[in-house]
Amino acid sequence: MGYKITLIPGDGIGPEIVREARKVLDAVGKKYGHEFDYTEILMGGCSIDAYGVPLTEEAVNTAKASDAVLLGAVGGNVGNSKWYDVAPNLRPEAGLLKIRKDLELFANIRPAYLYSELKDACPLKDEIIGDGFDMVIMRELTGGLYFGERHTESVNGVMTAVDTLTYNEEEIRRIAIKGFEIAMKRRKKLVSVDKANVLDSSRLWRKVVAEVSKDYPEVEVTNMLVDNCAMQLVMNPGQFDVILTENMFGDILSDEASMITGSIGMLSSASLGKTKLGLYEPSHGSAPDIAGKNIANPIATILSAAMMLRYSLDLDKEADAIEAAVAQVLKENYRTVDIMSEGMTQCTTTQMGDLIANHL
Amino acid sequence: MGYKITLIPGDGIGPEIVREARKVLDAVGKKYGHEFDYTEILMGGCSIDAYGVPLTEEAVNTAKASDAVLLGAVGGNVGNSKWYDVAPNLRPEAGLLKIRKDLELFANIRPAYLYSELKDACPLKDEIIGDGFDMVIMRELTGGLYFGERHTESVNGVMTAVDTLTYNEEEIRRIAIKGFEIAMKRRKKLVSVDKANVLDSSRLWRKVVAEVSKDYPEVEVTNMLVDNCAMQLVMNPGQFDVILTENMFGDILSDEASMITGSIGMLSSASLGKTKLGLYEPSHGSAPDIAGKNIANPIATILSAAMMLRYSLDLDKEADAIEAAVAQVLKENYRTVDIMSEGMTQCTTTQMGDLIANHL
Ligand SMILES: CC(C)[C@H](C(=O)O)[C@@H](O)C(=O)O
Ligand SMILES: CC(C)[C@H](C(=O)O)[C@@H](O)C(=O)O
Average pLDDT value over all residues in chain A = 96
Buried b (16+ CB within 10 A) or exposed e, B21-36: bbbbbebbbeeeebeb
Nearest chain A alpha carbon to B227: A252
In the prediction, which pLDDT does A85 show? Answer: 82
In the prediction, which pLDDT does B80 show? Answer: 63
- Is B184 within 8 Å of B212 (Cβ atoms)? no
User: Closest-lying ligand to the alpha carbon of B196?
Assistant: 1
> Is 70 exceeded by the pLDDT of residue A146?
yes
- Is A290 within 8 Å of A124 (Cβ atoms)? no
Q: Verify whether ligand 1 is closer than 6 Å to residue A96 (CB atom).
A: yes
Burial class (CB in 10 A: 0-12, 13-18, 19+), B297: buried
The per-residue pLDDT string of chain B (360 residues; one tens digit each, 9 = 90 and over) reads: 699 999 999 999 999 999 999 999 999 999 999 999 999 999 999 999 999 999 999 999 999 999 999 999 999 876 666 888 888 888 999 999 999 999 999 999 999 999 988 998 999 999 999 999 999 999 999 999 999 999 999 999 999 999 999 999 999 999 999 999 999 999 999 999 999 999 999 999 999 999 999 999 999 999 999 999 999 999 999 999 999 999 999 999 999 999 999 989 999 999 999 999 999 999 999 999 999 999 999 999 999 999 999 999 999 999 999 999 999 999 999 999 999 999 999 999 999 999 999 999
> Is 80 exceeded by the pLDDT of residue A93?
yes
* β-sheet bridge partners, residue B7: B40, B70
pLDDT over 70, % of chain A: 99
Indicate the DSSP class of residue A212: H
Which residue in B178, B194, B195, B311 is the catalytic one?
B195
In the prediction, which pLDDT does A272 show? Answer: 98
pTM listed for this prediction: 0.96
Ligand 2, atom 2, residue with closest C-alpha: B93
Ligand 2, atom 5, residue with closest C-alpha: B251
Cite the residue boundaries of each domain of chain B with CATH code 3.40.718.10: 1-103+277-360, 109-264
pLDDT tens figures, A100-143: 999 999 999 999 999 988 998 999 999 999 999 999 999 999 99
Residue A190 C-beta-side C-alpha neighbours within 13 Å: 29
In the chain, the amino acid numbered A130 is: G
- Is A294 within 8 Å of A118 (Cβ atoms)? no
Domain B109-264: state its class: alpha beta
- Counting ligand 2 atoms within 8 A of each CB, the residue from A194, A198, A249 with the most, and so the one to mutate, is A198
Q: Verify whether ligand 1 is closer than 6 Å to residue B231 (CB atom).
A: no
Nearest CB to A161: which of B203, B227, B255? Answer: B203
Q: Verify whether ligand 2 is closer than 6 Å to residue A316 (CB atom).
A: no
Cβ B256–A234 below 8 Å, yes or no?
A: yes
pLDDT tens figures, A274-327: 999 999 999 999 999 999 999 999 999 999 999 999 999 999 999 999 999 999
Which residue in B227, B314, B316, B320 is the catalytic one?
B227
CB neighbour list of residue A320: distance below 8 Å, 6 or more residues apart: none
User: Closest-lying ligand to the alpha carbon of A97?
Assistant: 1
Residue A289: other Cβ atoms inside 10 A:
10
Residue A50: other Cβ atoms inside 10 A:
10
- Is B97 within 8 Å of B244 (Cβ atoms)? no
CB neighbour list of residue A125: distance below 8 Å, 6 or more residues apart: B122, B123, B124, B125
Nearest CB to B231: which of A91, A159, A259? Answer: A259
Question: Rounded to whole angstroms, what are the CA distances from A67 to A211, A230, B246?
Answer: 33, 36, 41
pLDDT tens figures, A224-277: 999 999 999 999 999 999 999 999 999 999 999 999 999 899 999 999 999 999
pLDDT over 90, % of chain A: 93
Nearest CB to B168: which of A160, A165, A197? Answer: A160
> Is 80 exceeded by the pLDDT of residue A80?
no
Fold of the domain spanning A1-103+277-360 = Isopropylmalate Dehydrogenase (3.40.718)
In the prediction, which pLDDT does B243 show? Answer: 98
Cite the residue boundaries of each domain of chain A with CATH code 3.40.718.10: 1-103+277-360, 114-264
Indicate the DSSP class of residue A124: B
Q: Verify whether ligand 2 is closer than 6 Å to residue A215 (CB atom).
A: no
In the prediction, which pLDDT does A33 show? Answer: 96
- How close are the terminal C-alpha atoms of chain B, in Å? 19
The CATH homologous superfamily to which domain A114-264 belongs is Isopropylmalate Dehydrogenase (3.40.718.10)
Strand ranges inside A183-307, DSSP E: 189-194, 220-225, 242-245, 268-272, 278-282
Ligand 1, atom 9, residue with closest C-alpha: A251
